[in-house]
């Protein structure tokens, strides 16, 4: 009996260890393949060259245009998602009738369940033609439309995480504010939002991280042209889109082109890893404050 118990515990532990193997695998794959890349391409060129043309005859390996595309689309997404998501969170937490809240939350969650390739279609076929009527100079592939659609996609993420943070603010603070005659608006924005600020910051950082790693929306609607620009009307390419672009073509394994996707991958991994860990740090401080 005791032996059987021990064996079962061992098996369960092995299953749990799969996640550690996954992390080791990711690090090993990214580091081993990209170290070969960095033997051929100096790190300074990778970081500071302003052109990214590994698939052309005249090769440049500057990651900056891909980073610019990633930052631009993610920035647009946050500009859409933060005000709308935070307003929804405050509204549902402080204003909305209970029944409305119960009805609306699952519907907002549907937005998060839609596959990203479907969002790509919306960006390309619905939002871009609509925006082109307002901005005639806008190209068919651009950063604005996928950015907006990504923003719509991450609204539920910001609204639900921020709402949890607002809800966790001790009732006494809210009641004290109402007690001295504050309106709901004043209570929300002068008491609750500042008190829940770290939770809200966490939701925003996680949303940025999600936008940075998002692939299909930008692969479908942003065009696939690496370009060092902050102009939202012209085609750009993100880090993720470049990896997709190379994967779709016939690139020989072991070639420099093949290794570029791992170099791009490690840049993406570091970017999201830093963002995620900032959010853990903020979250941990937040928990300490209230316990």
Partner 1 sequence: MSKRFDINRTKDKLFRYFGVACTIFGLVMLAIFLISVLIEGLPRIDWGFFTSLPSRKPENAGILIPLLGTTWIMVLTSLIAIPFGVASGIYLEEYGKKNRLATIIEINITNLAGVPSIIYGLLALEVFVRLFGLGKSLLAGSLTLALLILPIIIVATREAIRAVPKTIREASYALGATKWQTTWHQVLPASSGGIVTGVILAISRAIGETAPLIVIGAMLYTTTIPTSPMDDFAILPIQIFNWLSRPQHGFIINATAAIIVLLAITFILNGIAIYLRNRWQKKVKW
Site for partner 1 in 208-237 (CB under 8 A): 209, 212-216, 219-220
In the bound state with partner 1, the residue whose beta carbon lies nearer, of 62 and 159, is 159
Interface with partner 1: number of residues (CB under 8 A): 83
In the bound state with partner 1, the residue whose beta carbon lies nearer, of 149 and 234, is 149
d(C-alpha 177, C-alpha 55), whole Å: 61
In degrees to the nearest 10, what's the CA dihedral of 59, 63, 64, 70? 130
**Interaction pattern, residues 91-110, with partner 1; x per rule: CB under 8 A:** xx--xx-------x-xxxxx
Give least dist CB 110 to partner 1, A: 6
In the bound state with partner 1, the residue whose beta carbon lies nearer, of 87 and 229, is 87
d(C-alpha 69, C-alpha 236), whole Å: 5
Nearest by Cα to 144 from 229, 223, 236, 232? 232
CA 100 to chain centre: 29
Question: Is residue 274 at the binding interface for partner 1, with CB under 8 A as the rule?
Answer: no
Give least dist CB 291 to partner 1, A: 17
In the bound state with partner 1, the residue whose beta carbon lies nearer, of 20 and 57, is 20
In the bound state with partner 1, the residue whose beta carbon lies nearer, of 111 and 201, is 111
Whole-number CA gyration radius for the chain: 23
SS3 at position 181: coil
d(C-alpha 148, C-alpha 78), whole Å: 9
In the bound state with partner 1, the residue whose beta carbon lies nearer, of 1 and 39, is 1
Nearest by Cα to 234 from 224, 244, 243? 224
| Residue 9 CB neighbours (<10 A) | 10
**Interaction pattern, residues 132-171, with partner 1; x per rule: CB under 8 A:** --------------------x--xx---------------
Interacting positions 57-96 with partner 1 (CB under 8 A)? 83-84, 87-88, 90-92, 95-96
């Amino acid at each position: 009996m005791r032996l059987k118990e021990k064996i079962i515990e061992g098996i369960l532990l092995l299953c749990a260890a799969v996640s550690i193997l996954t992390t080791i695998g990711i690090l090993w794959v990214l580091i081993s393949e990209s170290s070969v890349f960095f033997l051929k391409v100096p790190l300074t060129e990778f970081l500071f060259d302003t052109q990214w043309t590994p698939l052309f005859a005249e090769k440049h390996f500057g990651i900056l245009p891909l980073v610019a595309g990633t930052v631009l689309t993610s920035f647009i997404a946050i500009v859409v998602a933060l005000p709308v998501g935070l307003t929804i969170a405050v509204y549902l937490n402080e204003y909305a009738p209970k029944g409305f809240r119960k009805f609306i939350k699952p519907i907002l969650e549907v937005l998060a369940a839609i596959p990203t390739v479907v969002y790509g279609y919306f960006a390309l076929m619905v939002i871009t033609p609509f925006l082109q009527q307002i901005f005639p100079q806008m190209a068919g592939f651009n950063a604005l439309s996928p950015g907006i659609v990504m923003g719509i996609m991450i609204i539920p993420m910001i609204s639900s995480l921020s709402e949890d943070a607002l809800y966790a603010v001790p009732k006494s603070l809210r009641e004290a504010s109402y007690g001295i005659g504050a309106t709901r608006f004043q209570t929300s924005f002068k008491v609750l939002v500042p008190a829940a600020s770290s939770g809200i910051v966490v939701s925003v950082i996680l949303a940025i991280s999600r936008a940075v790693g998002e692939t299909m929306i930008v692969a479908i609607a942003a065009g696939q042209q690496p370009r060092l620009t902050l102009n939202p009307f012209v085609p750009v390419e993100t880090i993720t889109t470049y990896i997709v672009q190379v994967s779709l073509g016939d690139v020989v394994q072991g070639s420099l082109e093949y290794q570029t996707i791992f170099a791009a991958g490690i840049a993406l991994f570091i970017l999201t890893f830093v963002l995620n860990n900032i959010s853990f740090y903020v979250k941990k401080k937040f928990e300490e404050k209230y316990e």
